[in-house]
Amino acid sequence: MSTDVIAKLKQMAADPARVWQVGGATYGDLLAETGRLANALVSLGLRKGDRLLLQVEKCEAMLSLYFACLRTGVIFLPVNPGYTVAETEHFLRDAEPALSVTDPGRVAGLQALGSKVIDLPALLALAKGQGADFADPATGPDDLAAILYTSGTTGRSKGVMLTRENLASNAEALVGLWRFTDRDVLLHALPVFHTHGLFVATNCVLYSGARMIFQRAFQPAAVLAALPQATVMMGVPTFYTRLLSDPGLTREATGHLRLFISGSAPLSPATHAEWQARTGHAILERYGMTETNMITSNPYDGARRAGTVGMPLPGVEVRIAGADGEVLPQGEAGSIEVRGPNVFKGYWRLPENTAEEFRDGWFVTGDMGALDAQGYLSILGRAKDLVISGGLNVYPAEVEAALDDLPGVAASAVIGVAHPDFGEAVVACLVPGPGAVLSEDAIRTALRDRLAAFKLPKRVLILDDLPRNAMGKVQKAELRRIYQKLFAAI
């Protein structure tokens, strides 16, 4: 069994000189702050098993409150601060939090929905008057630590129940795999309402006794200014593409770092290659999801293969299965399925949905992929994004890789759109790079020597931008909605 998150925090806090945030708190300060917040939550009536909804702009106190919830046994429920009150209503009705903590400007809106609400400054003020000592209730590895809601791109968001062991086992695996030590300094510019910034980044720092440079938002200039103090940076592909457009990104600027990690959305091979050429660093791409934490990673030592997400983490199993659950031979494309201590407990109050997503004890991720002879996993797209054109399967990721390799293409997304003859037609949505001029005919011509005829896009749409969620993942469901009648007149 893995070391619990709070047990690890107390272990790190035993050294009074160990720094948690560069230029700021020690681990001892963090433990004391979590004690005061825990006492404040108890004074407000919260008990083990209650839910606490947090919807605030990114700040250091969010992490303290996360740990305070773990200390009390209260289930932490972070929500994107970009959501409107109307969108937040679903989480309030579904999770029934005992308390909502929000920014002052949101209090009235949440109160109108019947929620018990306190703004974050008021909670911090209440905590200041509390003692730092707190008697943590007994907890077990299967107790819930957090509920994170899925993005809800294909329906209502589902609450993903993550246990204390889910978080602890994943943190220990990643620290070992990515060689984190107490000498590391992580540059943290990610959101903290999402598993990437909240669990992967934060817990890797905690479990290694490392330090953190905490930035409240991703700003390229601020990130570049902080790089000389850091040894590790975690980001989403958008971070890397935006930094590549800044002339300040050089080998000298990144010379102090030992590792750049990318996740939450696919990193294009072109970005991988350009980053390595500019900085000398090969970005390490990994794969995970809300329901599983991290699943695979490219190796720290060895080839970090562009276009793949590496091999399963220690203790995690991955298989590629066919429609009937049969394990497919190496190299064949199929459903990516996972089992291990990283896999979530189920969907909150949705036992039937939970049962549907598991097969013989394996979680069916909904992603399509293939494993090569060396065990590297390639993701071919979501199962729901598979395009069946003229009875033949077209994997969007394969077409996107060919598109991203063309000069002038900054971003691409391939979708299937209803077609009267083929059933579905392959449609490519492209964003040109700075100064580039793309044309539909030229793109289709360039692809003819790269792709089989049935994979060629029937249409190529040149767009100013692609719709993305908060973590930079392209929202293909939105593209399909917009262009669903593209071929209606044929």
Residue range 225-252, pLDDT digits in tens: 999 999 999 999 889 989 999 999 999 9
* Structure-block tokens of residue 138: 């007994």
| Those residues with Cβ within 8 angstroms of residue 301's Cβ, 6 or more apart along the chain or in another chain | none
pLDDT at 36 over 80: yes
The predicted structure's pLDDT at residue 266:
86
Cβ neighbors of 101 (< 8 A, separation 6 or more) are 52, 53, 54, 55, 56, 65, 117, 118, 119, 120, 123
What number of CA atoms fall less than 13 Å from residue 29's CA on the CB side? 13
Higher pLDDT, 32 or 394: 32
The gap from C-alpha 86 to its chain's centroid, in whole angstroms, comes to 24
Q: Measured between alpha carbons, how far is 273 from 488 in angstroms, rounded to an integer?
A: 40
Listed by start position, the domains of the chain span: 5-173, 218-382, 386-482
pLDDT the model gives residue 153: 43
Domain 218-382: give its CATH superfamily.
ANL, N-terminal domain (3.40.50.12780)
Judge: domain 386-482, CATH 2.60.40.420.
no
CA distance 188 to 197: 7
Q: Say if residues 2 and 165 touch (Cβ distance below 8 Å).
A: yes
Q: Which two tokens stand for residue 228?
A: 């000389």
Amino acid found at 337? E
* pTM of full prediction above 0.85: yes
d(CA 413, CA 401): 10
Residue 154: pLDDT over 50? no
pLDDT at 471: 79
User: Running DSSP on this structure, what letter comes out for residue 26?
Assistant: B
Which pLDDT value is given to residue 106? 95
**Dihedral pair phi/psi, residue 100, rounded to 5°:** -115, 130
In this prediction, residue 151 carries a pLDDT of 66
The yes/no answer on whether domain 5-173 falls in CATH 3.40.50.12780 is yes
Intrachain domains 5-173 and 218-382 with the same fold: yes
Q: How far apart are CA 198 and CA 294, in angstroms?
A: 13
The neighbour count for residue 477, using CB atoms within 10 Å, is 18
Q: Which of 239, 229, 235 has its CA nearest to residue 185?
A: 229
Phi, psi values for residue 380, rounded to 5°: -105, 0
Q: State the pLDDT at residue 490.
A: 62
Q: Residue 381 pLDDT > 90, yes or no?
A: no
pLDDT of residue 157: 86
CA dihedral 273, 277, 281, 285 (to 10 degrees): -10
Q: Which residues pair with 21 in a beta bridge?
A: 212
SS3 435: coil
Place of tokens 């958008």: 238
425-435 average pLDDT score:
95
**pLDDT given at position 159:** 97
pLDDT value for 81 = 92
Alpha helix ranges (H) inside 188-294? 195, 202-208, 220-226, 237-244, 269-279
% of the chain at pLDDT higher than 70: 99
Count CB atoms within 10 A of the CB of residue 157. Answer: 19
Sign, Cα dihedral of 7, 11, 16, 20: negative
Q: Can you tell me the distance from the alpha carbon of 275 to that of 259, in angstroms, rounded to the nearest whole number?
A: 12
Binned at pLDDT 50, 70 and 90, residue 390 comes out as confident
pLDDT in tens, 174-183: 999 999 999 9
Q: Residue 470's pLDDT is what?
A: 80
Give dist(CA 227, CA 279) in Å, integer. 12
CA distance 153 to 392: 26
| Highest mean pLDDT pick, 64-73, 259-268, 377-386 | 64-73
Ramachandran angles phi, psi of 289, nearest 5°: -155, 165
Q: Under DSSP, is residue 10 helix (H, G, I), strand (E, B) or coil?
A: helix
Confidence grade of residue 489 (pLDDT, cut at 50, 70, 90): low
Mean pLDDT (whole number) for 317-339? 95
Pairing of strands 185-188, 211-214: parallel
Strand order in the sheet with 211-214: 211-214, 185-188, 232-235, 259-262, 284-289, 293-297, 311-312
Average pLDDT, the chain: 95
Considering just the CA atoms, what is the radius of gyration of the chain in Å? Answer: 23
Contact assessment for residue 384 and residue 416, using Cβ atoms and an 8 Å cutoff: no
Distance of CA 402 to the CA centre of its chain: 25
